[in-house]
Amino acid sequence: MLRVALAQLNTVVGDVEGNLALVRDAVRRGAEAGAALTLVPELALTGYPPEDLLLRRAFADASRAALEEVAREVREGAALVGFADAGDDLHNAAAVLADGRVQAVYHKRFLPNYGVFDEARYFAAGTAPLVVEVLGARVGVCVCEDIWYPTPVAGDLARARLDLIACISSSPYHLGKAGARERMLQTRAADCAAALAFCNQVGGQDELVFDGRSAVIDATGEVVARSPAFRADLLVCDLDPGQGARRRLREPLARLLPPAETAPVPVEARPPRAAPAPARRIEPPPAPEAELWGALVTGLRDYVDKNGFPGVVIGLSGGIDSALTAAIAVDALGPDRVMGVTMPSVFSAAISAEDASALAGALGIRFAEIPIAPVVDAFEAGLAPVFAGRGRDVTEENLQARVRGTLLMAVSNKLGLMVLATGNKSEMSVGYSTIYGDMVGGFAPLRDVAKTWVQRLARWRNREAGRELIPGRTITRPPSAELRPDQADTDSLPPYDLLDRIIEGYVEDDLTPREMAALGLPQEVCERVVRMVDRAEYKRRQGPPGIKTTPRAFGRDRRMPITNRHDPAR
């Protein structure tokens, strides 16, 4: 049998020393488990994505030095480790380590340069496949994007008649991606008639979250092992190295391919120690709500912890967005590290303060009330000479939001807590937010979560808890900013179920209003919404980062000019 170990690690970008410790521990545990080959994720020693740190030669040199340290400790079996390889040019690389040294290096051939990826900005593309012979097994090496296409990388590996494809990856999360990714991997394994070990990163890095879900797939395309989502893990699996060869004899499709152009590289490796057979482990995929919740909790926890914040403070309005943000924060950080502040105005309904207090009690977080009416009155008095002769309008509404933002930042400065902005994707899309007001914060967990999903997650979290963590009235009340008498979100926006369908069509699918109308959506409303989306770009640029959860998030994914005279409704 061929035993492989997949270590999905939560690395930190730039922390080469800390990442080195994680990799060394993973390689040691893989050897102790009797693995012939231990995999760690893509660019594990630098963290992913390292972005412009790669433009500093000393950073890439530190990555190589760390690799040499790991190599010296690999005395049983072999390891495949991701690092930044700086020679005549810079490459996203995977090194085969065995017998105390680096024995082969592969350079990633497909460099993604779309969506959240900018790898062509930093790396040169590799030009050659790598196949190694290690402990009697023929293993082909690839890195992340290489495996997503049927040719030429996967085609070259199929021609090499492998026992195993070893793929290390840092594949970012969005809702629903994991299932599609795993189906692709099953296809690659079946087409190549080779087992496939896919080792993915886990954890949060700025806007990105990595879900892990490393997997081992046999030569028929069946998943035989899978790691959990959003949790560091060492997955150990035994494979039959002859399965692929037997299948190639029965189904001789590979004979139609030209022979491989490069010979396998022999790797000198000592056999791994004897260890008990690993239990078969195929972690079930989570339900959609649990999956998205796990991404939000992971992204928030790692942003707060990796940046050294002691905790967070949240403005609790009594509404569903701030309530859901607080519930996510408690699951991510624990109640002792979360503070809620309610800031009622003269327009705040009594039930809003009641629901904010009830939420804080149910979550067990610190809670404070700071009425804003005296501060708003003082601001308005100070502005009165400048505003003389002009009636009240949205200016006074926004002033309330900005007072709240100022108070939250004061609490942040005094207590050291990071402010969490609570706006959702629906609001951020159309600019239904106040810049320097409710957009204030260091991080916005719901920035890429639509309002309909906010409501869905709130109900799901209560069901999971078996009680009302989020007050039921908070979920069912019509949404309102409460900045003027009897205000409702629908005064300014279409109903959220319609708005979210339009935003998805325009932002994620690039549909025009006319194309959305052909799908049954009202064209005039679509035209109004898409114009609002583009006009709000200047606000979004000044808002805090948030967790990417959809295929196309604002910011890294969707980059629109602020100064822009194109009419998206035409």
Query: Which uninterrupted H or E stretch holds 61?
Result: helix 57-73
Of the residues 76, 108, 237, 425, only one is catalytic, namely 108
Backbone angles phi, psi at 199, to 5 degrees: -110, 115
Of the residues 142, 144, 199, 237, only one is catalytic, namely 144
Give the 3-state DSSP-derived string for 30-46, with helices as H, strands as E and coil as C.
Answer: HHHCCCCEEECCCCCCC
Looking at residue 465, its amino acid is A
Q: Which of 127, 113, 60, 111 is nearest to 90 (CA)?
A: 60
Q: Does the annotation mark 289 as catalytic?
A: no
**Contact yes or no for 309/418 (Cβ under 8 A):** yes
**Contact yes or no for 469/361 (Cβ under 8 A):** no
Inter-CA distances, 463 with 46, 230, 456, Å: 40, 21, 11
CB under 8 Å to 108, separation ≥6 — which residues? 42, 91, 92, 93, 94, 119, 123, 125, 126, 142, 143, 144, 145, 146
**Contact yes or no for 272/3 (Cβ under 8 A):** yes
SS3 content of the chain, % helix, strand, coil (to 5): 40, 20, 40
Q: Does the annotation mark 42 as catalytic?
A: yes
d(CA 366, CA 81) in angstroms, rounded, equals: 44
d(CA 422, CA 440) in angstroms, rounded, equals: 9
- Long-range own/partner contacts, residues 379-385 (CB < 8 A, 24 or more apart): 379/403
Looking at residue 65, its amino acid is A
d(CA 146, CA 167) in angstroms, rounded, equals: 8
**Contact yes or no for 374/410 (Cβ under 8 A):** no
Q: Does the annotation mark 108 as catalytic?
A: yes
**Quick check: bond before 152 cis, omega within 30?**
yes
d(CA 369, CA 447) in angstroms, rounded, equals: 25
Of the residues 42, 207, 291, 482, only one is catalytic, namely 42
Strands 338-342 and 312-315: parallel
Cα–chain-centroid distance for residue 445? 11
Q: Which of 496, 213, 485 is nearest to 345 (CA)?
A: 485
Active-site positions? 42, 108, 144
